[in-house]
A and B are shown apart, each in its own frame.
Chain A
Amino acid sequence: MEKKLKVAALCNGTVIDHIPSDKMFKVVSILHLESSLNQITLANNLESAKIGSKGIIKISDRAFAEDETNKIALIAPNAKINIIRDFQVVEKRPLSLPNEIREIVQCTNPNCITNNQPVMTRFHVLKHDGEIMLKCHYCEREVKREDAKIK
């Protein structure tokens, strides 16, 4: 009952659940929800058996393209995306990092062209010995996923 009060049911739209609490507002930023006109319910610091403390975002009447939701995999790889229609979960969408990430990550190299001229950032997603790295398309510097600087 208490849970229902905190996160009211959604008729149609998208639910992003199991976001680590410290990443909640990053997800809001990545999806540009601050400028969205849809009804949005945010809840944070909820108890979670799996990750201790979690956030949840419900966006009414909006479906995201897969390449949009996949951006979330960069900072919250274990978040869950549910697509809702008529109060029913019609799709549980797994997150997977795209091969290329545009715009949302800032290069850590201060001497990179993207930090000095109006150039959109592009990163290639690479796996080295199981570790996920982002390689700047321009200056070729690599950074671990967890060290990536989100704009």
Chain B
Amino acid sequence: MGLESELSHIMSNNSLVSISDYSKEEILSILDSAAKFEANPNRKTLDGKVIATLFFEPSTRTRLSFETAVIRLGGSIIGFSDAATSSSAKGETLNDTIHMVSCYADAIVMRHPLEGAARYAAEVSPVPIINAGDGANQHPSQTLLDLYSILKTQGTLENLTICLVGDLKYGRTVHSLIMAMSHFNPTFKFIAPDELKMPDEYKLFCRKKNIPFTEVNELNENFNDADILYMTRVQKERFQDLMEYERVKNVYTLKNDMLAHSKPNLRILHPLPRVTEIDPDVDGNEKAYYFRQAQNGLYIRQAIVSKVLGLNP
């Protein structure tokens, strides 16, 4: 049994920790469910349910969209958005916090600064855990909303050419996207400066799955054959040489005129927040999809919360 399927089998309580916990069929089922929630986002299917949102580190979009998802389904929210106001500030272990909260809530949405915190919480929790980000490790609801955005804009997930741009070394969203898209026969182009190149383990993963990929250093118009241009933030703190950062940050800025020769169906995604990597002059282009992508997060999170609680859309 491979590690991915092994992990999916040990999840005893429907938790969602990593995108690899879901099979292709489960991913497609979530996307199908999200489409139904998009058609009718206000329901009372969570009436009487209490969902805890435990944010041990700050988050704006993810927390608000999970909470909106629950409220629009008629559920109630308890929790905290800052670890300083929680009992962890007094030294309580994660194990104890999870056991305590699971006495009150039907499911727990958790973001934690330590990698592996969500997997551990899922092991000790009697109620489902939804990982809303564990350090630099996994953020599966982001990956699912990325997939939903790709599906909505392209009409399919199969046989697409996807350019991943920017911080491919540390960016957890691009790593998870590679794993999730591996079910759908993609072609990847990795566009990153040498300092932020795609790590070998993900290139090895692609080779094992017979997924073709190319690597280039410059953005330019290297995405003209792409269906999806997935931009990520190049973070200053990742560079040892700040001169190099200054050089690179402008090279990796997407401007509207660079889109002139791109495919008509190209759509630009970004997990947000963006800083300088997409010029505001792109925002008006019909190919800019990043704000609607964030909105898709609501429907995906409605689908995820319903699935972990065993509720049909």
Q: Which A residues fall within an 8 A CB radius of B? A: 107, 109, 111-114, 116-119, 124, 126, 128-129, 135-142
Contacts and interface: CB of A to CB of B under 8 A. Distances in A.
B239 interface: no
27 contacts: A107-B116, A109-B115, A111-B114, A111-B115, A111-B136, A112-B114, A112-B115, A113-B94, A116-B114, A117-B95, A117-B114, A118-B93, A118-B95, A119-B116, A119-B120, A124-B3, A124-B6, A126-B3, A128-B201, A128-B204, A135-B3, A136-B116, A138-B115, A138-B116, A138-B119, A140-B18, A142-B201
Nearest to A118: B93
B143 interface: no
B3 A113 contact: no
A129 B136 CA distance: 26
Contacts of B137: 139-140
Contact of B117 (A109, A113, A136): A113
Q: Could you tell me the dominant secondary structure of chain A's interface residues?
A: loop
Contacts of A139: 114-116, 134-135, 137
B114 A140 contact: no
A114 B123 CA distance: 13
A140 B116 contact: yes
A119 B95 CA distance: 9
Contacts of B115: 109, 111-113, 138-141
Contacts of B116: 107, 112-114, 119, 136-140
B138 A113 contact: no
A115 B169 CA distance: 23
B58 interface: no
A66 to B, nearest CB: 20
B177 to A, nearest CB: 16
Instruction: Return the 4 tightest CB-CB contacts between A and B, nearest first.
Output: A138-B116, A139-B115, A139-B116, A113-B116
Interface string B129-150: 0000011111000000000000
Contacts of B93: 117-118
B113 interface: yes
Most buried by A among B6, B112, B116, B201: B116
